[in-house]
Amino acid sequence: MIGRLNHVAIAVPDLAAATATYRDTLGAKVSAPQDEPDHGVTVVFVELPNTKIELLHPLGEGSPIAAFLERNPAGGIHHLCYEVADILAARDQLEAEGARVLGDGEPKIGAHGKPVLFLHPKDFLGSLIELEQV
């Protein structure tokens, strides 16, 4: 079912410092910061040859990463995003296997403009997983 690793998301308390770490210390290609008000985050994309790292910083009230940063004030890996060909088929198969989909189970339009779902970390080895239809 899952295809490519679309990205690894890292929640960071200071986006400018995190961008400098990846650009200057690790020598990677980084994007300009991009506000995603519908998703409550500002994102910097780190472009690696085979995948992306997304540096996420809270934007506005009620950001979905605010509680994570309270628990992990220095930042940390927030989720892994895997690509799927058909997100509804993936959801139905996962639910049939007993895995929990977060929220109401309906795909939302994610930060890349494509349908996404999140899966419960307790069913996936302690890691939050995003599925993105590509």
The residues assigned a catalytic role are: 130
CA distance 56 to 59: 9
In this structure, are residues 13 and 41 in contact, taking their beta carbons and an 8 Å threshold? no
| Sign of the alpha-carbon torsion through 12, 13, 15, 18 | negative
Between 3 and 60, CB nearer to a second copy: 3
Candidate list 36, 124, 133, 134; residue touching a second copy; CB under 8 A:
124
Are 115 and 108 spatial neighbours (Cβ–Cβ below 8 Å)?
yes
Which residue, 18 or 111, has its beta carbon nearer to a second copy?
A: 18
Between 5 and 67, name the residue whose CB sits nearer to a second copy.
Answer: 5
Contact region with a second copy (CB under 8 A), list: 22-30, 31-39, 59-67, 106-114: 22-30
**Residue 45: in which H helix or E strand, if any?**
strand 41-47
Applying CB under 8 A, among 31, 36, 40, 123 the residue interacting with a second copy is 123
Q: Find tokens 């220095």 and name the residue.
A: 74
By CB under 8 A, name the one of 31, 40, 72, 114 that touches a second copy: 72
- Three-state SS at 2: coil
The terminus-to-terminus CA distance of the chain in angstroms comes to 12
Q: Which parts of 29-68 interact with a second copy (CB under 8 A)? A: 48-51, 53, 55
Q: Measure the CA–CA gap between 63 and 106, rounded to whole angstroms.
A: 20
Under the binding rule (CB under 8 A), the answer on residue 121 touching a second copy is: yes
- Contact footprint for a second copy (CB under 8 A): 1-5, 8, 10, 12, 18, 21, 24-28, 48-51, 53, 55, 72, 74-77, 80, 82, 93-94, 97, 99, 121-127
